[in-house]
Structure 1
Amino acid sequence: MSILENIRSPRDVKALPTADLDGLASEIREFLIHAVSRTGGHLGPNLGVVELAIALHRVFESPKDRILWDTGHQSYVHKILTGRQDFSKLRGKGGLSGYPSRAESEHDIVENSHASTALCWADGLAKAQHVQGSRDHVVAVIGDGALTGGMAWEALNNIASARRRPLVIVVNDNGRSYGPTVGALADRLCVLRATDGYERFLAEARDLIQSAPVVGGPLYESLHGAKKGLKDAVAPQGLFEDLGLKYLGPVDGHDIRSVEAALRRAKRFHGPVVVHCLTEKGRGHTPALEHEKDRFHAIGVMDPYTCAPLEPAAGPSWTEVFGAEMLSLGAERPDLVAVTAAMLHPVGLGEFAARFPDRVWDVGIAEQHAVTSAAALATAGLHPVVALYATFLNRAFDQLLMDVALHRCGVTFVLDRAGVTGADGPSHNGMWDLSLLQVVPGLRIAAPRDATQLRVQLREAVEVTDAPTVLRFPKETVGKDLPASGRAGQMDLLRRGSVPDVLVVSVGVMAPVALAAAELLAERGTGVTVVDPRWVKPLDPALVPLAARHRLVAVVEDNCRTAGVGVAVGQALRDAGQDVPLRNFGIPEEFLAHAKRGEVLADVGLTPVEIAGRISVALEGAGERGT
């Protein structure tokens, strides 16, 4: 009989005999491999935390004790153990989120999937419980990659001063974030992880002491959690203990009994404790372990046995086009360098790094540092390209504003996953950049509509040396090129209307949607001109006189309507004294539920049929006002 099918809550996990735990772990891994292969998702990270998640729910009383998952993509096992085993629509519309979700379960506390924040949450929750007189525990699970983020150390600085607050920090140390963890912190953890003397000492002690009758097990647990003096003899622990934090470990994160023992000791301490668990990303799945680049960090739909993709890409991705053009530019320009934040391969810089290893820096999960460091690189005479996911640039807005823009540094920001990303949910949609960046003086924003424009506009961006530039594109595969039929100033005319009824301003990848809407309107006898500004900040001065010749202007963008390109177009028209009616089509000011990109766009009205219908209604209103 299956063990897993009888697990409906953490109480069932606690009730399991110790002899069944390894069997449960094996069943969970088998479940994950098959379920996630059907839907896509974060497989490797979850295979690595199976035993850790089981131990956490056996030792602590969720949700009374708050268990927090930093980043959150490794919470699938936690979901399974808290009664959520229907993975049939994982990350799909109406299905489970790929991250913790308060709407799904009382066991999910934090659903923001940006890294390095869990310790800040833990600090605040522990403080609140202290004020309220509660002695319940707060447990934060943070990967070693997330410890490269500055917020984590700001939180540790405060947590270490809280001597009597029951807070347990579990360092899930697998030597990786997306790829291998980088930097001095990673090197220090590697010392703790791999010190020969410590590992040899533990191995010999385990064999000798556990063989002793009756007292062997308890004695080994005591030795494994020995005081600082004993551990310092074989491995340096100062990384955490010098901050004043009690340190337990390293512990084999795949030995449930050892992890439980360490967590129970930490729970008894009633103060801040670090439990250092060594885990293996992709554990138990040979293809994942052999995939050295990312250990199946995130997979698409694939065959669970052969790992062959079942939904092959229809063409190259935007990321691949960018990566290839960066490689060409790097060969042409020795001053061109690249910076990223723990996303070397996901943002397309892998080949650039292989070709020019001394001209690329992965700074870890540290976007603020990446941006200010890039300002210094530019000041020193280089041209840095900072490649990030669009949503992650939000974390470094102040640095972009005050360190890059204020100093007029020639830094190019390439924002991957801009607009609606879909399956990864609200925190990963890149729907705020066009709004936030509108207020940055001197900054220029390019929104390419196709692969050719991406190449051309990247080259235009890196030619700018006295101000920051931004290039944004989505997650999807690149469609066919959409050549211009003419120019208006520096803008591309994609379609010229027979009569000047409607001017549609299409932003970047919304061009196919705008053109399809224009065709629907043309079938109704409406003249529609579609223009691609290419650079949406600053707007081309030719846009205002072009707009003034039309009865209505419509702006179509995959960004929040609030303060986006549509608002900028409206401001430009008003500043020029033009009262032509304007309609904005974009993303509403709300957090969007996870679903496929097309489904999300349909839900928010960014489809040709919806846009054409609303423009028709607006035209009727404009005609009535003109009579």
Structure 2
Amino acid sequence: MILERIEKPSDIKKLNKKELNILAREIRDFLIEKISVTGGHLAGNLGVVELTMAMHIAFDLPKDKIIWDVGHQSYTHKILSGRKNAFDNLRKFGGISGFPKTSESKFDVFNTGHSSTSLSAGLGMAFGRDIKGENYRIISVIGDGALTGGMAYEALNNAVQIKTNFIMVLNDNDMSISKNVGGMNEYLNSIRTADGYTNLKKMVNNSLERLPYIGKPIIKSIKQTKNGIKQILIPGMLFENMGITYLGPVDGHNITALLRVFEEAKKVEGSVLVHVLTKKGKGYTPAEKHPENFHGIGAFDIANGIPKSVSKKPTYTDVFSKNIVELATENKNIVAITAAMPEGCGLLEFKDKFPRRFFDVGIAEQHAVTSAAGLAAAGLTPVVCIYSSFLQRGFDQIVHDVCLQNLHVVFAIDRAGLVGADGETHQGIFDVSFLTCIPNMTLLAPKNAKELKSALKFAIDFDGPVAVRYPRGIAYDSLNEFESKIEFGKGEMLFEESDIALFAIGSMVSTAKNLREKLKSRGFNVSVANARFFKPIDFELVDKLCKNHKLIVTMEESVINGSMGEKIKAYIKDKDCNTDVLNIALPDGYVEHGDVSLLRKKLEIDSDSVLKKVLDRYEKIKDEG
């Protein structure tokens, strides 16, 4: 096998054309085999095999720098940079990440995980290179989907300022361009970037600029004529008109063509965009036919692409999906907004039933939030469905455009809390901290599937900004015997005793129930309260618990800084109450990738870890008392 000869980064440069084509097939087989066991991002990685190989051949890595937008398509890059043997532990705790990670390899030069960032990062690195007088190339890879993000256009607008080489690779796996147009562009671009043409253009410009009075008008006239021809023949005029050289489109599965265009791109003094056409899922029929199903997938059967384990139990996303449709059937004012995640956020049924009331704005969370504010100002009830880790991209818009005007925008925050294998960039652990600091915002978290339904109804009927956060995975279906009506800023008592009170919220209510049973078996009296609201906190319920409990244990799946627990601890301290407070929350830091149950143990928020902390603290209280 050719792949067995790829042990270090320079090995690929020793292969001939025939061997390169074989290697591409072997890499695809390797990815399919490994990801079928570990899970991961498959379709996008299968689409960039030749593109990645060509960049590793054309550039001097790691001296030259490749920055991957999002980064979930960097698996081939990891294979070619010496991490092939680590793929058995892909996205597992302690194993390699599914995204570029600077702490993992010197070939990963910038941590990525969110979309539309690579151009800005690369441009900043290029400016830094020039300031320091260093000599290396920077290649920023960005997908066509990521160009829906406004940050990418901000970078493109700024890219014209750089006068040294900066290469942007547009990985286009969706757009279709006919062969004759593509052939014409390949011909024109090879002429425009040839040494003779480039030198001639410089010489003509320099000569004409020295002519008094008539030089600049002639240059302007030549440019206008040239641009008129380009408008007809070249599809990259958007970039050309911004002052960015455009090369392409080029077949992203033809290594020879890719190597040729990268050699041309190296000659450009300034920003150059290389437009590469690729096919998602290339080489694996199930992924080619349904690439959306293989974007991120768990373990699957290679023969048919069917996931090996699919739970029939509804997830929180399923519960949201069903109930938002029911609510929208009754309330014609409800509209739904997503940022390129209609399937992930559970809005496909809503889209099918209410197409005029559904808005997919692309990977543009800032626009999603502010457009929702506009919809609310127009008298509608917008429901913005975004993953927790992506919602932080729209923070200023929540502050300025929604909450400042106290507009009724509903935020359905999916994947809140620990999400697992995608790691630091995707853990939804900061939303509580950044949302509860905003005036006019209301934030609640349901304890189970049934309460999510009630929480959504509450949010739709509410008057003002309101967010409902819920975790990834199977919806908890216990505690259904507790079904009190949701009232603004009010929690509910589930078990009322004395001594120890567990004040839990959201996903941690089920943990509190398990913890109570373990404490009861040891002879303790234990109350359990479902806080329901992160903001406003039910301090009346806290006062009640202070009267007959020695210890209040706050429990939440969010970071400790800015947490509910911190606020309750400060409140009780100011009240000069004798009740002690133990905060159970996630540490002040980023959480790496790994199985959620394992992460909960490592971070000590599972019931066994909390039990030990409670017993230790209660013993300390007794000794001091």
Scaled by the length of structure 2, the TM-score of the pair is 0.91
Which residue of structure 1 aligns with residue 493 of structure 2? 493
Q: Match for residue 611 of structure 1?
A: 610
**Secondary structure class of the residue paired with 2:501:** strand
Q: Is the 8 A contact 2:246 2:273 kept in 1?
A: yes
Per the TM alignment, residue 201 of structure 1 is displaced from its structure 2 partner at its CA by: 4.4
Contact 2:193/2:267, CA 8 A, preserved across alignment: no
State the secondary structure of the residue aligned to 1:298.
coil
Aligned length: 591
User: Deviations 1:475-511 (Å, cap 9, x if unpaired)?
Assistant: 11113231355869842222233xx101111110112
Which segment is superposed worse, 246-255 or 3-12?
3-12
Output aligned runs, 1:255-404, within 5 Å.
Answer: 255-291=254-290, 294=292, 296-313=294-311, 315-404=313-402
Cα deviations across residues 264-288 of structure 1 (Å, max 9, x unaligned)? 1111224211000011111111111
**For the Cα contact (< 8 Å) 1:446–1:535, is it kept in 2?**
yes
Does residue 113 of the first structure (1) align with residue 113 of the second (2)? yes
User: Is 1:473 aligned with 2:462?
Assistant: no
SS of equivalent residue, structure 1 residue 601: helix
Within a 5 Å distance, the mapping from 1:564-575 to structure 2 comes to 564-575=563-574
Asked if 1:135 is matched to 2:132, the reply is no
Q: Look up the equivalent residue of 2:440 and give its one-letter code.
A: G
What is the aligned partner in structure 1 of residue 515 from structure 2? 517
Q: Secondary structure at the residue paired with 1:364?
A: coil
Cα deviation per residue 1:168-219 (whole Å; 9 max; x = unaligned)?
00000112xxxxxxxxxxxxxx4xx52565146479x89xxxxxxxxxxx99
Pairing of 1:430-441 with structure 2 (within 5 A) = 430-441=428-439
The aligned counterpart of 1:544 is: 542
Give 1:392 shift: 0.8
Contact kept? 2:182, 2:248, Cα under 8 Å = no
Kindly report which structure 2 residues correspond to 1:30-179, keeping only aligned pairs within 5 A, or say none.
30-86=29-85, 87-163=87-163, 165-175=164-174
Counterpart Cα distance in 1 of 2:99 and 2:384: 27
Quote the offset at 1:590 in angstroms: 1.3
Question: 2:474 aligns to what SS in structure 1?
Answer: coil
Unmatched segments (≥5 aa) in structure 1: 176-189, 207-217
Partner-residue secondary structure (3-state), 1:551:
strand
1:194 aligns with 2:191: no
Conservation of the 8 A alpha-carbon contact between 1:504 and 1:528: yes
CA contact 2:450–2:477 (8 Å) conserved in 1: no
Alignment partner, residue 187 of structure 1: none
Which residues of 2 match residues 8-27 of structure 1 at below 5 A?
8-27=7-26
CA 1:62 to 1:196, structure 2 compared with 1: closer, same or farther past 3 Å? closer
Secondary structure of 2:507's counterpart equals helix
* 1:4 partner amino acid: L
User: How far apart are 1:53 and its partner, in Å?
Assistant: 0.1
Pair 1:355–1:379, CA change in 2 (3 A): same
- Provide the C-alpha distance between the structure 2 equivalents of 1:329 and 1:221, rounded to a whole number of angstroms: 58
Shift of 1:385: 0.4
Contact 2:68–2:112 under 8 Å retained in 1:
no
Per the alignment, residue 406 of structure 1 pairs with 404
Residue by residue over 1:98-143, the C-alpha shift from the partner in whole angstroms, topping out at 9 and shown as x without a partner, is 1011222110011230111111111111111101111210000000
**Cα 1:388/1:118, change in 2 over 3 Å:** same
2:206 is aligned to: none
Letter in 2 for 1:612: L
Cα deviation code 1:577-612 (max 9, x no counterpart): 534211110110111121000011100101111111
Call closer, same or farther: CA 1:430–1:288 in 2, change over 3 Å.
same
2:504–2:512 CA contact under 8 A, matched in 1:
yes
Q: Quick one: distance in 2 between partners of 1:545 and 1:236?
A: 67
Do the aligned residues in 1 keep the contact of 2:450 with 2:480 (CA within 8 Å)?
no
Residue equivalent to 1:482 = 479
SS at match of 2:453: helix
1:70/1:115 contact within 8 Å kept: yes
For residue 167 of structure 1, what is the amino acid of its counterpart? F
- Maintained 8 Å contact 2:194/2:264: no
AA at the equivalent of 2:65: R
By how many angstroms is 1:33 displaced? Answer: 1.0
Which amino acid is 1:313 matched to? Answer: S
Scaled by the length of structure 1, the TM-score of the pair is 0.90
Cα deviation, residue 94, structure 1: 1.9
Corresponding residue of 1:252: 251
Partner Cα distance (1:322, 1:485) in 2: 20
Q: Distance in 2 between matches of 1:577 and 1:369?
A: 46
RMSD: 2.2
For the residue of structure 2 that corresponds to 1:372, the secondary structure is helix
Deviation at 1:545, TM superposition (A): 2.3
Asked whether the equivalents of residues 281 and 295 of structure 1 are also in contact (C-alpha less than 8 Å), the reply is no
Instruction: Provide the secondary structure at the position in 2 that maps to 1:273.
Output: strand
- Asked whether the 8 Å contact 1:452–1:481 carries over to 2, the reply is no
The answer to whether the Cα contact below 8 Å between 2:451 and 2:483 also exists between their aligned partners in 1 is no
SS in 2 for 1:401: helix
Measure, in 1, the Cα distance between the counterparts of 2:495 and 2:122.
54
Instruction: Name which of structure 1's ranges 563-572 and 25-34 shifts more when overlaid on structure 2.
Output: 563-572
Counterpart secondary structure, 1:269: coil
**Counterpart position of 1:184:** none
1:484–1:492 CA contact under 8 A, matched in 2: no
1-side partners of 2:506 and 2:482: how far apart? Answer: 16
Partners of 2:484 and 2:296 in 1: how far apart?
42
Gaps of 5+ in 2: 202-225
Cα distance in 1, alignment partners of residues 259 and 567 from structure 2: 56
Given that residues 251 and 278 in structure 1 are in contact (C-alpha distance below 8 angstroms), is that contact kept between their aligned partners in structure 2? yes
Secondary structure at the residue paired with 2:83?
coil
CA contact (8 A) 1:169 1:275 kept: yes
Distance in 1 between residues matched to 2:293 and 2:323, nearest whole Å: 27
Q: Describe the SS at the equivalent of 2:572.
A: helix
Asked whether the equivalents of residues 289 and 295 of structure 1 are also in contact (C-alpha less than 8 Å), the reply is no
**SS in structure 2 of the partner of residue 110 of structure 1:** coil
Match of 2:504 in 1: 506
Cα displacement string for residues 519-571 of structure 1 (whole angstroms, at most 9, x for unaligned residues): 11112211110111222210124312222121111011110011111112223
| 3-state SS, counterpart of residue 29 of structure 1 | helix
Tell me, in whole angstroms, the C-alpha distance in 1 between the residues paired with 2:29 and 2:269.
36
Question: How far off is 1:236 after superposition?
Answer: 3.2
Amino acid at match of 2:476: G
* 1:352-400 per-position Cα deviation (integer Å, ceiling 9, x unaligned): 0011111111111111111111111101100000000101111111110
Give the Cα–Cα distance (whole angstroms) in 1 for the partners of residues 178 and 465 of structure 2. 45
Once the 2 structures are TM-superposed, how far is the Cα of residue 234 of structure 1 from its aligned partner? 2.6
